[in-house]
Structure 1
Amino acid sequence: MAITLIGIVTIAVVGVTGRRPGRGEFGEWTVGKRRFSTFTTWFLQAGEAFTTFSFLGLAGIAFGGGVAAAFALCYLSINFILQYFTAPRMRELGRKGGYLTQADYFADRYRSPLLGKVVAVVGAVFLLPYLQLQITGLGLIVQLATGSRTGGNLSMVLATVLTVAFVLWSGIRGIARVAYLKDALMIIGLVVLIAGVALSVNGGIGGLFETVRDAHPNLLTFHQEGYDATFFVTAVIISGLGGGLGTLPHLWPPVLAAGSGRALRQNAIWLPLYQIALGIPVIVGFAGILLVKQGSAPNAVALTLAGQTLPGWLVGVVAVAAASAAMVPSAAIVVGISSLLSRNLLSAGNERAQLRTNHVCVIGAATLALVLGLTRPGLLSDLLLLTYGGLTQLAPAIVMGLAKKVRLDAVPALLGILTGVGVLIWLTFGGVDVGTFDTGLIALVLNMAVTAVAQLVVRSRSTAPVPAEAN
């Protein structure tokens, strides 16, 4: 517990060392001077892409669904391929148009402040459960590592307060500083964890998979309940499109802050190296099949194994690494939500007013996510499943807006987004059984159909001949 708490405080102290923006410089707080190096952009993009899911979620899926956990490696590959083409163009448009948020892009490219406001609402609503996931995940990490539920709740409060503090102080520059530390800690934590597993399994890693092949062969196929081939393919598609096409609002500031399109292309080439590290939680999940009692909570597998195979102080190191993987994405998500609300939805005057409003939104969003995490941790569980699916409904309009000349009108884009979000909510909360098919993909197909039909109607009306006036 001592090592974990000291680690959380250290992470926040590093964040505060980021340069504080000048008074009233909302743009500096959000995207810096738009001159971040390839090195800094690398850590910003990696820091926001690899979260508590990398520690807890992947190991849990491997524990319950076997090789289906590899979907994360597949969709991230699609992300980076798409980002090679889309991110430099987004940065170029952002520099010319002065964008600070994703919603700025929509309002400018489609000449529609209303569309910008709708996108701001959609982004904030669907990012909130993602923020709660990071905070709740951090509490679970500490609880599992220390055996103390009270310690887990205390860590959630402490980490949230400290994250808000360094975000308010230094904005994206503070997040960049912490991202350097977070990536180093994550690699150290994963290496320590895999070493403990390798020493605890007969025959090491090779022996582990031989045993799984002989005792649980189904785990090496897509035949587990809830984790079949349909789940795998549709989850890869929707998640790959979501990240690769810039539908998650908190991924825009690092892109807009990059010093050049070349930096973003270089990162898209080399960031897949992180997928080597992501293989470790998958291996840990398979080890849990042999070493952890069946029926255990899937998300507890990684830290449970750490407790079984490592001395206490090393468990603390792993917990700090996992905590950093929660705090950096939390900071980025808070910036994403608050910027959308203060700049695009509330439209608070000049930059100084926007920065003041933004600070209030930072505190409000973090407090709401923390309260929900402490009191109703399962309240947004269903909505969490909508995060990628819901935000991917922005994909068609984002793609059309990247063209040199935007050939999609604002009304069809708006109708498509509203249709996709509405269908997704209906499928999720209406008790509609679609099996393991990703509901976000179903909603996206209908979204695109409505967008296309609406565009045809708009264009047909605009080109229709005007009847001559009666004499």
Structure 2
Amino acid sequence: MNATMVITVAGIVAIALVGVSGRRAPSKELGEWTVGKRRFSTFTTWFLQAGESFTTFSFLGLAGLAFGAGVAASYALCYLAINFVLQYFTAPRMRQLGLRGGYLTQADFFVDRYRSPLLGKVVAVVGAVFLLPYLQLQITGLGMIVQLATGSRAGGNWSMVLATVLTVGFVLWSGIRGIARVAYLKDALMIVGLVVLVVGVAVSVHGGIGGTFATLRDARPNLLTLNQPGYDGTFFVTAVIISSIGGGLGTMAHLWPPVLAAGSGRALRSNAVWLPLYQIALGIPVIVGFAGVLLLSKGAEPNSVALTLAGQTLPGWLVGLVAVAAASAAMVPSAAIVVGISSLLSRNLFSARTPRAQLRTNHVCVVVAAGLALVLGLLRPGLLADMLLLTYGGLTQLAPAIVMGLAKRVRLGAMPALLGIVAGVAVLTWLTFGGVDVGTVDTGLIALGVNVVVTVVAQVVLGGRTVGRDQGVEAVGARLG
């Protein structure tokens, strides 16, 4: 076992130990495990919310996209910044409703605002199904990170198993407090890892970072335009729109616990103002991808660009440090996604009656969800590749109902909301798996258009009474709890 592998494995274990240290006392009910006491500080909430900005996509995906598609990779920097602009308005309102109504999950919002347990169950299923491929992405990405850093395929597989088991362990033991504790470490590691990586690239390319762009301008100017096949201006604009809606309007279930756990709406607004600073760090993988165009062969695997360059430009122990940083970027989002999936299933789909039964059911769901994602990642890593394309697009189908539910009075009926979601998901599935050619337009945006039309027509035909929900919502919260 070489030094890189030793450092990587030790780092993965250390990350889990930090997560275990987050537990204060045994959780006796799902609320404590999922959202704590709803008094998290601005500092803690910052790191919990930042988790979605730094994932395995930050290390592997962005660099690979820049390597193959050029400047189109910058769409990630755009949509994440827009996410926080939208969250400035939506997150405090979600927290306010959650505090009054006792929400623990995204689906609780739908049950409460639309007075429809059926809608809550549908949302729970949609959320769990479309988050599963995102969970597999994190786990598979971690295996790829270790494999690329150490050169050992077997080592990558064993690291996937080890990291998944350790992540499940600290999540079950500490809940959201453990995730928060690891999030502190993860962001520090990510910043250090990205800086080390960009410095290694800078000293390897003639003229440094400036020389990289100057050389690309002369040798591969097409990479600095939105004219790449499959990655033109239409792709860029529609991808930014659908991803901004998906993240900014709370359509992803694993983003709700940090919001519901925040101590105040002011903390959420403050974070929404300053979190876009992380986009500076996310520019580094894009630069690394551009450097890969100059330093690697054209046939290189795009997702391997960042760590391949690290192996070529850095000593083994520094490669190990970069791998640990990347591993933390897989483990923390994995933990948050597992919490999102398990709480939806245990609270809203299976509807266990007592707090203790909910917590036990939740723990079973944690193990099953993580185990399924791990098995698929090991045996059929490409099985959910197409489904991954549905994650943002599929979850974005919840956006119209969320927007209407955030209003003081809910003027949309539960059945029109349900029909719109079902229609959008059905159209998205047909466009993705039916071989329909829509060019470079994001299929999620097309499905969202159908969703809105069906919702409006159903509202006109079926009607639905205006629901005033801001008064007496505490009673609804009691029923949810």
1:100-115 to structure 2, matched below 5 A, reads 100-115=104-119
1:16-415 to structure 2, matched below 5 A, reads 16-415=20-419
Q: Secondary structure at the match of 1:49?
A: coil
Q: Which residue of 2 aligns with 1:465?
A: none
Q: Which residue of 2 aligns with 1:418?
A: 422
Identity of counterpart residues, as a percentage? 82
Q: Which residue of 2 aligns with 1:459?
A: 463
Instruction: Give the Cα–Cα distance (whole angstroms) in 2 for the partners of residues 396 and 28 of structure 1.
Output: 30
Instruction: Give the Cα–Cα distance (whole angstroms) in 2 for the partners of residues 117 and 392 of structure 1.
Output: 17
Following superposition, the deviation at residue 351 of structure 1 comes to 1.2
Instruction: Give the Cα–Cα distance (whole angstroms) in 2 for the partners of residues 276 and 351 of structure 1.
Output: 43
Contact 2:414 2:464 in 1 (8 A): no
Q: Which residue of 1 aligns with 2:472?
A: none
Deviation sequence 1:135-185 (CA, Å, 0-9, x none) = 000000000000000000010000000000000001000000000000000
Q: Secondary structure at the match of 2:383?
A: coil
Instruction: Give the Cα–Cα distance (whole angstroms) in 1 for the partners of residues 454 and 180 of structure 2.
Output: 40
Deviation sequence 1:246-283 (CA, Å, 0-9, x none) = 00000000000000000000000000000000000000
Following superposition, the deviation at residue 226 of structure 1 comes to 1.2
Instruction: Give the Cα–Cα distance (whole angstroms) in 2 for the partners of residues 246 and 197 of structure 1.
Output: 37
Instruction: Give the Cα–Cα distance (whole angstroms) in 2 for the partners of residues 264 and 346 of structure 1.
Output: 31
Instruction: Give the Cα–Cα distance (whole angstroms) in 1 for the partners of residues 333 and 204 of structure 2.
Output: 32
Q: 1:238 to 1:81 in 2, by over 3 A?
A: same
Alignment length (residue pairs): 462
Q: TM-score, normalised by structure 1?
A: 0.97
Q: TM-score, normalised by structure 2?
A: 0.95
Contact 1:9 1:162 in 2 (8 A): yes
Instruction: Give the Cα–Cα distance (whole angstroms) in 1 for the partners of residues 296 and 355 of structure 2.
Output: 53
Contact 1:341 1:361 in 2 (8 A): yes
Contact 1:400 1:407 in 2 (8 A): yes
Instruction: Give the Cα–Cα distance (whole angstroms) in 2 for the partners of residues 4 and 243 of structure 1.
Output: 31
Instruction: Give the Cα–Cα distance (whole angstroms) in 2 for the partners of residues 165 and 392 of structure 1.
Output: 31
Following superposition, the deviation at residue 424 of structure 1 comes to 0.2
Instruction: Give the Cα–Cα distance (whole angstroms) in 2 for the partners of residues 73 and 42 of structure 1.
Output: 18
Contact 1:131 1:334 in 2 (8 A): yes
Paired residue type of 1:353: A
Paired residue type of 1:330: S
Instruction: Give the Cα–Cα distance (whole angstroms) in 2 for the partners of residues 272 and 351 of structure 1.
Output: 38
Deviation sequence 1:410-463 (CA, Å, 0-9, x none) = 00000000000000000000110111110000000000000001111123999x
Contact 1:192 1:318 in 2 (8 A): yes
Q: 1:460 to 1:413 in 2, by over 3 A?
A: closer
Instruction: Give the Cα–Cα distance (whole angstroms) in 1 for the partners of residues 440 and 107 of structure 2.
Output: 32
Q: 1:295 to 1:113 in 2, by over 3 A?
A: same
Contact 1:21 1:28 in 2 (8 A): no
Deviation sequence 1:69-90 (CA, Å, 0-9, x none) = 0000110111000000000000
Q: 1:461 to 1:319 in 2, by over 3 A?
A: closer
Instruction: Give the Cα–Cα distance (whole angstroms) in 2 for the partners of residues 263 and 455 of structure 1.
Output: 36
Following superposition, the deviation at residue 21 of structure 1 comes to 4.5
Q: Secondary structure at the match of 1:115?
A: helix
Following superposition, the deviation at residue 22 of structure 1 comes to 3.6
Q: Secondary structure at the match of 2:189?
A: helix
Match of 1:3 among 7, 24, 29: 7
Q: Secondary structure at the match of 1:200?
A: coil
Q: 1:454 to 1:285 in 2, by over 3 A?
A: same
Paired residue type of 2:271: N
Q: 1:25 to 1:428 in 2, by over 3 A?
A: same
Q: Secondary structure at the match of 1:444?
A: helix
- What runs of 5+ residues in structure 2 fail to find an aligned partner? 467-481
Paired residue type of 1:26: L
Q: 1:215 to 1:23 in 2, by over 3 A?
A: closer
Deviation sequence 1:104-159 (CA, Å, 0-9, x none) = 00010000000000000000000000000000000000000000000000100000
Q: Secondary structure at the match of 2:59?
A: helix
Instruction: Give the Cα–Cα distance (whole angstroms) in 2 for the partners of residues 17 and 461 of structure 1.
Output: 49
Instruction: Give the Cα–Cα distance (whole angstroms) in 2 for the partners of residues 77 and 16 of structure 1.
Output: 32
Paired residue type of 2:180: A
Instruction: Give the Cα–Cα distance (whole angstroms) in 1 for the partners of residues 272 and 403 of structure 2.
Output: 18
Following superposition, the deviation at residue 48 of structure 1 comes to 3.0
* CA RMSD across the alignment: 1.0
